[in-house]
Amino acid sequence: MSKGKGYAFSGTTGDIVHLIQNLPPKPNKKFLEDWNDITHPEARKNSTNIKYEHKQTGLRVRFDPATPGAPGFNGKDHWHVYNPNKTSKKDEYLDENANPTKRNSDPSHIIPKGQGDS
C-alpha cells in the first residue's frame, strides 16, 4: 500500500487484505492489542460507531454495531475500511479485497467472518 495522509503503510497490499479479511465480528481483546481507538470524544457522544487505527500499518477502520431490528447493513455488525489514498466519495473506502469503493456501496460494508461469534 502506498503512503496515506499522516501515516505510512509498512505492509504490502496482501498484508492489508489479510487485516481486512480477518477483522473480528466485534472488537475484542486480541483485536485491541494491535489497534488503537481513535474515536473523537464528541463523535462518541452522538454515535455508537468506533474508529480504530492499526498500530503497525496506520490503516483506519470503523466498527458499526448492529441496531436490533434494523434492515440491511444497519441490522448487522459491520466494518468500514478507510482508503488512505482516497480522492473523493467515490473511493472513500476499501472493500474486503482492498479495492477502492464508494461511500454507501454494498462492498464498503464488510461483514466479518463468523458474524455473531464473540
**Per-residue pLDDT tens over the stretch 98-112:** 999 999 999 999 998
Q: Is residue 8 part of a domain?
A: no
The larger pLDDT score, comparing residue 89 to residue 11, is at 89
pLDDT given at position 31: 96
- CA 104/CA 92 separation, integer angstroms: 10
118 in any annotated domain: no
Average pLDDT, the chain: 87
The answer as to whether 7 is a domain residue is: no
Paired residues of 53 in beta bridges: 36, 60
Look at the block and give the residue holding cell 496515506: 4
SS3 label, residue 45? helix
Mean pLDDT, rounded, for 3-19: 59
Is 113 contained in some domain?
Answer: no
Q: Is residue 62, in this structure, part of any structural domain at all? A: yes
In a domain, 99, yes or no: yes
> Average pLDDT of 43-72?
95
Cα 6 from Cα 22, distance rounded (Å): 24
pLDDT of residue 75: 95
**17 located within any domain:** yes
Find the domain containing 101 and state its range: 13-108
Do the Cβ atoms of 49 and 62 come closer than 8 Å?
yes
Place of cell 492489508: 16
Q: What is the spatial distance between Cα 116 and Cα 51, in angstroms, rounded to a whole number?
A: 20
Q: Global pTM?
A: 0.83
Number of domains in the chain: 1
